[in-house]
Chains A and B, each alone.
Chain A
Amino acid sequence: MVLRDKVVTLAHGGGGKAMRDLIAEVFTAVFQPPGSEDQARLMDEALREPGARLAFTTDSFVVTPLEFPGGDIGKIAVCGTVNDLVVGGARPLWLSAAFIIEEGCPVDTLRRVVASMAEEAAKAGVRIVTGDTKVVERGKGDGVFVTTSGIGVIPPGREIGAVQVRPGDVVLVNGVLGDHGATILAARGDLALSSDIQSDCAGLGHLMEAALAAAPGIRAARDCTRGGLASTLNEIAGEAGVAIELDETALPLRDEVRGVCEILGLDPLYLANEGRLALFCPADQAEAALAAMRALPEGMGAVAVGRVLAAPAGRVTMRTPFGGSRIVDMLVGEQLPRIC
């Protein structure tokens, strides 16, 4: 080991030996990208199939704290981009990873983040093939920011997207909601919330392939990240020009998450997830899709939570246990109290 520094300094971003040592030892030694050029040259058999299409996506990740029960920023950075590919029907193949590191960030933290990235990438069957690092002055970052981009291949004939959604479809989710958001809130400390909740952070490639194999009619999928299930469903309802009705009694929620939300006045429907997706499936294939998902650890809690209606276009509602129906709107900025 050449790198002896315990923390990242501005010198590690200076372009000299310190920087080369950091990159070589912390990043490329772990990720092992092909070649030494500043570009990755890629080929995969899947690309040769007639009718196959490329999928390409990018996302930036910021989270406080960097490490939390059930994951860290590295795991989110891989899973997030992998999931963005997966919900479009693509098989993820390659990722890039760019790091903006704040001066003073412990090198050990960085090593752990990188290790969990490598682990998640291996699980998802993707390779991290190119990347970048920058160092910013103390106070100009928040430990580490990570940007990942991903390329995947959509097999021929697979048409998945919001526009495919039809009235009568069933809405499935792969497990309890809001664990990630609640974990982050609790992990920010001194809220005196006693909870054993863990982030749900997970790559969903295998789950999606299993669901598609069991229910080839799946119309659309969307990961429920920032803004929670509520925001995801509003997006889909808007893009598909349909209404979505949730059944409140069917929503999978952990008691701990329910409790945290009750205390802090938050709606679990809007809490972030990092390993949850909403699947839109023809009603006659819903049971098959659910069974396939439940066979995998990341889909053990899969349930149907609602259904698609024809109208009013773009509206998401939730049927309450007493038969009423509340509107579940897209959040506008932060949540402001409305009761006058």
Chain B
Amino acid sequence: MNGIRIRVRGQVQGVGFRPFVWQLAQEFGLTGKVLNDPEGVLIHALGPQVDEFVAAISARAPKLARVDAVEVSDWAVYTAPVAFVIAPSQGVGAETRVTPDAATCDACRDEVFEPGRRQGYAFTNCTHCGPRFTILNGLPYDRAKTTMAAFPMCPACRADYENPADRRFHAQPIACPDCGPRLWYEIAGQEVAGDAIALAAQALRRGSILAIKGLGGFHLACDARNGQAVAVLRTRKRRTSKPFALMGIEADLAEVAVLGTVDRALLRDPAAPVVLVASRGALPETVAPGMAQLGVMLPYTPLHHLLLARFGGVLVMTSGNLSGEPQVIGNDEAREKLAAFADGFLMHDRDIARRLDDGVERAHPRMVLRRARGRVPGTLPLPPGFSGAQVLALGGQMKGAICLVKNGQAMLSHHLGDLDDALCAEEFTKAIADCTALFDHHPQTVACDLHPGYRATREAEGMGLPLIRVQHHQAHLAACLAENLWPLDGGPVAGIVLDGLGLGADGTIWGGEVLLGDYKGFRRVSYLKPAPLPGGDMASRQPWRNALARLDQAGLSEVADRLFPDQPRETLRTAMARGINAPLSSSAGRLFDAVAALLGIVPDAQSYEGEAAMRLEALAGPPGPGYAFGPGLDPAPMFRTIVQDLSDSVSTAMISARFHDGLAQAFAAEVRALVEGGQAQAVALSGGCFQNARLLTATLAALEGVPMLTHREVPANDGGLALGQAVIALAQMESV
């Protein structure tokens, strides 16, 4: 007798794959077995319809699964099995993979709104949805190693859990009102008697601000249409203008934002990220001051579904923390830290094991701006040519994220915040221990940035392992190459890296670069003509400083004198001339700041990182011919034209558009020459500035016909840096 042996590779564990296979086997009348092992899922199947069965495995795979390969071989059967069974896992490392947290599936959502024992139950979930990484304490992933260990299953839940035909088969966080976590509403530490959801919804409708315990942390929520409530939240959080994220059901979101087909698809993704979409201007301006876009998400737990159904509208849902600190996850911590922000608390007793912010993404052009809940700990395959060595990369400073490489897969961590903050730095250190333990990772080498002042660099230096220091913008370039599976021996690529600041190989500060190279090495071909950063990091906070430097450089000092009459211009001019804390930089990010300040956009101080550039992007009108740069990517001619345009009363929308397009076209011309001259095989776009959709679109347009590599799943900003560091370190290890 001959059966078949099927090997399934990819993200196939912890996503309901075995019960899915079991159900398929029933459907096609097969016998045999399915099990998890270190390589993925292994199936032995016997019966007349095996071909249809194999086809259905990839075609109908569970929503959370990612099938990379289905390999079929012969199975010589000596004793025919009598049934199809789910067999125990085999081998060391089996079931060590954890999948990301997933938004409530349609079946579970319907269940909480329909009569039944889980009607109105905020912690309903199944194999296809629910908490994973956020409740995980250790491996293997089963209930005892999660924060659900505190809730012994009732007989009814146990029966669902053990029934392969039930969608809750082996759903570790399975629960019901009889056995699972409990929800309550409290004010000033006192539980309020009554229906928690109803009480919370009522308070929100009255304009209160609530702390709501979610999946990866606490949120602060208020009615998004209530300008007064939004203003109070801003005052309490001391967050003057950074946009707030919103949560609502799709129909309600469609009233405040323009939702295209791709936007809706991304909103419905199991990761349920915050998606940036065009605003209809229907909400108070204070929700996202100066922005043409809103960040919106769908409810992603039954708790959120139930609350929104009762509330009936769109909620501001911003992370519950002190500005700059990590999101609060503990109940007592919330009572202490959020008491000054929240009028009431919607609480529950399921602990959050791991803090995960909401992810921020864009559907068109597709990009991940903040990799977080729902995407981690998903892995990314490494490009062809890389070995299985284990490397740990510790990333950048302002957007901490680490990357673990093992067995040809890269695990790029979630957003860990600004490592200058003491609590974020503590989280960062914990995340290293957490991730290396969880993934049984034993790094042979640590990779970090060249910058000696990054906390991540200091952490790397203290690990006692061989250390590879990677130039910031090469790491950005390599992250883009790796995401696009550019082979190790794929040949040199021309990288446009437009970024904030990073320490260059020559000791100056880079950030507007054309690099020619790959994982193994690079050459700095050309770069934005450098200008001083008067006051160092202060120049990143106060856009007018960059305008001063660029205007002076363009011979337009009198314009700076007129625009910034009350600023200490002369002192900074001397400081620039004498090199007193005024390092030279080719940063593109500071060029955005300079242009923004020239147009009067937050010249004195940004209230959050990137504010000036984001507001400048929001202004931009339709595309067209851009401002011309001088030879050597010198922006001086552009500044002279902008000053002329301003005095001719050209609209700021037009000026912003011509700036974006001019920057794109100037850099595009540089790399096009490299590709057409045969020096580069393709062009890669990376660096934080490429999170600007307008700049990305303009660059793609200017490079039509050239093979292009762009970021989609890996952040173009420092959130993706660690991936680049890791593959560069691996490439160096290969070449030894």
In chain A between 302 and 340, which residues have their CB closer than 8 angstroms to a CB of chain B?
312, 315, 317, 322-327, 329, 331-333, 335-340
A333 to B450, CA, bound (A): 13
**Chain B 329-347 against A: per-residue CB contact (8 Å), 1 yes, 0 no?**
0000000010000000000
Contacts of A332 in B (CB 8 A): 452-453
Residue from B323, B452, B537, B540 within 8 A of A324 (CB atoms): B323
Segment touching A, from B14-22, B159-167, B569-577: B569-577
A337-B421 in contact (CB<8A): no
Residue from A265, A317, A329, A336 within 8 A of B509 (CB atoms): A336
A263 to B425, CA, bound (A): 28
B550 near A: Cβ within 8 Å? no
Smallest CB separation, B319 vs chain A (Å): 14
A327-B323 in contact (CB<8A): no
B509-A263 in contact (CB<8A): no
A185-B580 in contact (CB<8A): yes
Residue from B454, B580, B609 within 8 A of A191 (CB atoms): B580
Smallest CB separation, A322 vs chain B (Å): 6
In chain A between 179 and 197, which residues have their CB closer than 8 angstroms to a CB of chain B?
185, 188, 190-193
B568-A263 in contact (CB<8A): yes
Contacts of B583 in A (CB 8 A): 336-337
Residue from B452, B499, B537, B718 within 8 A of A333 (CB atoms): B452
CB-based nearest A residue for B535: A265
A325-B574 in contact (CB<8A): no
Contacts of B501 in A (CB 8 A): 337-340
CB-based nearest B residue for A316: B422
In chain A between 249 and 279, which residues have their CB closer than 8 angstroms to a CB of chain B?
262-266
Smallest CB separation, B512 vs chain A (Å): 13
A317 to B421, CA, bound (A): 9
B72 near A: Cβ within 8 Å? no
**Chain B 510-537 against A: per-residue CB contact (8 Å), 1 yes, 0 no?**
0100000000000000000000011111
Knowing A264-B535, A322-B323, say if A340 contacts B398 (CB, 8 Å).
Answer: yes
Residue from B398, B423, B572 within 8 A of A338 (CB atoms): B398
B574-A327 in contact (CB<8A): no
B631 near A: Cβ within 8 Å? no
CB-based nearest B residue for A194: B571
In chain A between 160 and 213, which residues have their CB closer than 8 angstroms to a CB of chain B?
185, 188, 190-193
A335-B536 in contact (CB<8A): yes
Residue from A188, A324, A329 within 8 A of B324 (CB atoms): A324
- The tally of residues in B whose CB lies under 8 Å from a CB in A reads 56
Contacts of B572 in A (CB 8 A): 263-264
Knowing A191-B575, A324-B325, A340-B718, say if A335 contacts B581 (CB, 8 Å).
Answer: yes
B540-A339 in contact (CB<8A): yes
Residue from B455, B500, B534 within 8 A of A340 (CB atoms): B500
Knowing A185-B580, A264-B581, A324-B323, say if A340 contacts B717 (CB, 8 Å).
Answer: yes
Residue from B451, B455, B536, B585 within 8 A of A327 (CB atoms): B455
CB-based nearest B residue for A321: B238
B609-A312 in contact (CB<8A): no
B535-A325 in contact (CB<8A): no
B440 near A: Cβ within 8 Å? no
Knowing A336-B509, A340-B396, say if A265 contacts B423 (CB, 8 Å).
Answer: no
B688 near A: Cβ within 8 Å? yes
A333 to B398, CA, bound (A): 20
Smallest CB separation, B502 vs chain A (Å): 6
A266 to B537, CA, bound (A): 9
**Chain B 301-341 against A: per-residue CB contact (8 Å), 1 yes, 0 no?**
00000000000000000000011110000000000010000
A337-B571 in contact (CB<8A): no
B420 near A: Cβ within 8 Å? yes
A312 to B583, CA, bound (A): 33
Contacts of B541 in A (CB 8 A): 339
Contacts of A322 in B (CB 8 A): 238, 322-323
CB-based nearest A residue for B583: A337
Contacts of B283 in A (CB 8 A): none
A221 to B454, CA, bound (A): 29
B503-A336 in contact (CB<8A): yes
B499-A266 in contact (CB<8A): no
Instruction: Other than A264-B575, A325-B423, A327-B421, give 14 A-B pairs with Cβ distance below 8 A.
Output: A262-B538, A264-B572, A323-B322, A324-B323, A324-B325, A326-B420, A332-B452, A332-B453, A335-B453, A335-B536, A336-B503, A337-B533, A340-B717, A340-B718
Interface pairs (18), CB distance under 8 Å:
A263-B572, A312-B426, A323-B322, A324-B322, A324-B323, A324-B421, A325-B423, A326-B422, A329-B458, A332-B453, A336-B583, A338-B398, A339-B501, A339-B540, A340-B397, A340-B398, A340-B499, A340-B688
- A-B pairs, top 4 by smallest CB distance, nearest first, are A265-B535, A265-B538, A325-B422, A339-B540
